[in-house]
Chains A and B, each alone.
Chain A
C-alpha cells in the first residue's frame, strides 16, 4: 500500500508536519499509520506515527483521496528519512491501525494530557470531540413523566508539556477545538515551570474541592465544577504516562493512555511491541510457565499495535 507526500513543513527545531495523499481513510483518534520511504532498505522497517488529522475529500480537491497529516520529531533513521522526502515521493503506507481512544457516552469533561511529541493523538481527539461537542450527561423527569435528556456542552481541558517552549506543540489547535489549555515547560520558558502532571494534579485538586463545596452548598448538581463524569486521555513519554495514571487512580477518574513501543509490523504479526499488562486484566491468556525477568508480579504481554496503542491506564503493569 502506497501514499504520496503531499507536503512537508518544518515547524521549528526538529519538528515536522507532513501530509500524505492516501487512499481514502477513516480513523479514530489514537490510531496510527506505518510509514517509510518506498523501496528503502535502510531504514528497513516502517515506523508508527499517530494520525494527527485527516482531511476528507470534498473539503479540499483531493481527487477522491484523503490527506493524512502527521507530526513528528526527527530523532533517528526513520524520521530523518521521512523528513528528507519531497512532494510526490512515494511512501509505504499502512493504516489506520490499532485501537484509538474510547469515548465514554456520559463524558462531560475531557482532561487531555500531552507531553512533547505525544501531542498528535490528543489533538486528534480534541478535534473529534469538538465536532461532537454535545453530550448527554444526565436526565430528569418532565411533566409527562417521560425521561428527557439534558444536553450540555462537553468541556475540554488540555495540559500540554515539554522540555522547552519549542517542545510545546499544537496549543493553538487545541484552543481552536475549544479546549482550555494549560502549558508547562521544564525550563519555564513558557507556562508553568515544571511538569505537565503538576498542572493536572492541581487542577483535579481544585475541581475536587469545588465539587464537594457545591454538593454540600446546593442541592443542584453543577456539572461544571464536578470531575465526576470526566476522563483523562493522555499521550507522551512513558514516565509521564505513569505519573498521569497514578494521579487518575488517586482521583478515581478513568484514564486512557496511548503508549509507545518499537514496532516491526504494526498489525500483530511480528510480536515485537509487547507491553507488560496486569494478568488479572487479561482475558483468556493462560498463564505462562516462564515469568518475566525482573518483574515480581504476574504480568502478561499485550501487543502495543494490536491491543493498543491506547490502553486503560490501570491495565498496564507500570
Chain B
C-alpha cells in the first residue's frame, strides 16, 4: 500500500538502470498500432503503475516543481493521493524572498515567469512542509537547487534517510537566478553536479534538464554518465516580452522562463531526442494540458510526465490529465502505459 515507506525496496545495485516498468522490462513490446477506433477488448481498467528510478508510483502523472506550491494549496481541490508523485517548489540552502514583482507575464498559449526560487529553505522545509507529505501514499520528490557543488551535495545529504522523501530532482536549469542555468548548460558541470549528488545520497537522483542548450542529448549523456537514475525534461525556455507602450521589458529582470502549451512541441522533440540517446527513464514536462498531450510524451519516449502550468489554470489539471491518459489507454486497447513508451512510429512518407 505504501511503497514509498520501504525506502530500500528496489534499490539494489541495479537501481541506476532501472527500467521504466515494474511489471515488465522495457523491451519493445510490440507496436500495437490499433489505428482507428478499436473498441476496448474488455472493460478492464488499464494498469497505470510505473516505477521510475526505483520509485513505485501509482500512475505516471506527477506535478511539476514550482507549479504545485507545497502541496497543501491543492488539498481543498482534490485528494493528492490520486497522483503518481508530487514534486514541490525548489528548496535551497537558505530561504529566498524571490524576485520583485511583477513575476508573471502572460504570452499566447503560455506565460513567462521570474519567481526567483522563492522558498522557505531546507531547514523550514524539513520542519514545516515535509510532515504533511508523510500522511500521503503518493511519493514526494524534493527538487533542490544549490549555488555550488557543495550546496547540492549538502542539500542531498540533508534529505537522505528522511522519512517521506522518495527521491531528489536536481534543478540545474532555473533561468531566473544568477548562475541557475550554468549546471544545466555545460556538460562538464552537469557531470560534476550529478556525480557530487550521486556520491552524497542513496536516494534516486533525477536531474531536471534545461532546454536552453544547442544539443540536449550532450547534457543528458553527461547526467547519465554521472549516475543519474532518471531525467526530467524540460524546464522553462528563456524568453522575453516588451511592453510597447513603455518600451521596457515586462519583467523587472528582463527575461523569464516560458512555460505552457506554447513550449510543448519543443519538449516533445527533446524527449524524443534524449530517448534515443540514453537508456534512463525520462519524465516528460512541457505544456501538458490534457491526457492526449501526455500520450504524446509517452510515444516520444517518456515513462512518466509532469503537469505544470496547467495547474494554474485549473487546480484539477493533473488529475484530469491522468483521467485522459487512462481513457486513451482503454480506448486503444492498451492494458498498461508501459507498452506505449517510445513507440512513436517513423514519420509518414508519401512514397513507400
A interface residue numbers (CB < 8 A to B): 1, 36, 41-46, 77, 92, 94, 261-265, 267-275, 285-294, 300-301, 306
Known A-B contacts A43-B106, A261-B101, A274-B101; the reply to A268 vs B124 at CB < 8 A is no
A36 to B106, CA, bound (A): 13
What's the nearest-Cβ distance from chain B to residue A202, in Å? 34
In the complex, which residues 285-344 of chain B have their Cβ closer than 8 Å to any Cβ of chain A? 311-316
B269 sits at the interface (CB 8 A): no
Q: Which residue of A lies closest to B311 (CB)?
A: A269
Q: Which residues of the partner chain B approach A262 to less than 8 Å between Cβ atoms?
A: 101-102, 104
Given contacts A265-B311, A306-B73, contact A44 B94 (CB under 8 A): no
- Cβ-based interface call for B260 (8 A): yes
The 10 closest A-B pairs by CB, nearest first: A272-B104, A265-B312, A288-B97, A42-B108, A268-B73, A41-B109, A289-B94, A269-B69, A272-B103, A264-B104
Q: Which of A261, A294, A301 meets B97, CB within 8 Å?
A: A301
Minimal Cβ-Cβ distance residue in B for A41: B109
**B contact residues around A289 at 8 Å (CB):** 94-96
Contact at B108–A44, with CB atoms within 8 Å? yes
For B101, give the chain A residue with the smallest CB separation.
A274
Contact yes or no, A264 B261, CB < 8 A:
no
The smallest beta-carbon distance between A26 and chain B, in angstroms, is: 14
Task: Check A267/B73 contact, CB under 8 A, given A41-B108, A290-B97, A301-B118.
Answer: yes
Report the separation of the CA atoms of residues A286 and B98 in the bound assembly, to the nearest whole angstrom: 13
A-B contact pairs, 11 of them (CB 8 A): A92-B313, A269-B68, A269-B69, A269-B74, A271-B66, A274-B101, A285-B95, A286-B120, A294-B100, A301-B118, A306-B73
B residues near A270, Cβ cutoff 8 Å? 67, 104, 113, 115, 312
For the residues of B in contact with A, the DSSP-based class is loop
For the complex, what is the distance from the CA of A95 to the CA of B261, rounded to whole Å?
A: 24
Contacts of B96 on A, CB cut-off 8 Å? 288-290
Q: Does B107 contact A (CB under 8 A)?
A: yes
Q: Which residues of A contact B95 (CB under 8 A)?
A: 285-289
Contacts of B89 in A (CB 8 A): 271
A285 to B322, CA, bound (A): 35
Contact A293 B100 (CB under 8 A): yes
A45-B111, A92-B313, A288-B97 known; A269 vs B106 contact (CB < 8 Å): no
Tell me the chain B residues, 96-132 only, with Cβ under 8 Å from chain A: 96-98, 100-104, 106-111, 113, 115, 118, 120-121, 123-124
Are B67 and A274 in contact, CB atoms less than 8 angstroms apart? no
**Given A271-B118, A289-B94, CB of A41 within 8 Å of CB of B261:** yes
Contact present for B115 and A45 (CB under 8 Å): no
B residues 114-152 in Cβ contact with A at 8 Å: 115, 118, 120-121, 123-124
Q: What's the nearest-Cβ distance from chain B to residue A156, in Å?
A: 33
> Are the C-beta atoms of A271 and B106 separated by less than 8 Å?
no
- Kindly list chain A residues whose C-beta atoms are within 8 Å of the C-beta of B113: 264, 270, 272
Residues in B neighbouring A275, C-beta threshold 8 A? 101
The residue in chain A whose Cβ has the minimal distance to the Cβ of B120 is: A286
72-88 of chain B: CB within 8 A of chain A: 73-74
Question: Provided the pairs A46-B313, A269-B68, A301-B118 are in contact, do residues A274 and B106 lie with their beta carbons within 8 angstroms?
Answer: no
B181 CB, nearest partner CB in chain A, Å: 18
Find chain B residues with CB under 8 A from A273 CB.
101, 103-104
Whether the Cβ atoms of B121 and A286 lie closer than 8 Å is yes
The residue in chain A whose Cβ has the minimal distance to the Cβ of B76 is: A267
Which residue among A1, A36, A77, A271 has the maximum number of chain B CB atoms within 10 Å of its CB? Answer: A271
- Bound complex: CA A8 to CA B115 (Å): 36
Cα(A148)–Cα(B172), bound, Å: 67
Distance (whole angstroms) from the CB of A3 to the closest CB of chain B: 13
With A44-B106, A306-B73 already in contact, the answer to whether A288 and B94 are too (CB < 8 A) is yes
Contact across chains for A269 and B315 when beta carbons are under 8 A apart: yes
Residues of B within 8 Å of A261, CB to CB, are 101-102
B261, closest chain A residue (CB): A41
Identify the closest chain A residue to B73 (Cβ): A268
Q: Bound state CA distance, A301 and B101, in angstroms?
A: 10
Find chain B residues with CB under 8 A from A290 CB: 96-97
Q: What residues on A are CB-neighbors of B111 within 8 Å?
A: 44-45, 264
- Cβ contacts under 8 Å, A94 to chain B: 314-315
**Nearest CB of chain A from residue B164's CB, rounded to whole Å:** 21
Known: A42-B108, A286-B120, A286-B124. A274 touches B98 (CB 8 A): yes
Q: Is the CB of A269 within 8 A of B313?
A: no
Query: Quick check: A44 and B107 within 8 Å, CB to CB?
Result: yes
Closest residue on chain B to residue A78 by CB atoms: B106
Bound complex: CA A261 to CA B73 (Å) = 19
Q: Give the docked Cα–Cα distance between A286 and B102 (Å).
A: 23
What is the CA–CA distance of A288 and B103 in the complex, to the nearest angstrom?
Answer: 18
Chain B CB within 10 A, most for which of A92, A290, A291, A294: A290
Chain B neighbourhood of A269, CB < 8 A: 67-69, 73-74, 311-312, 315
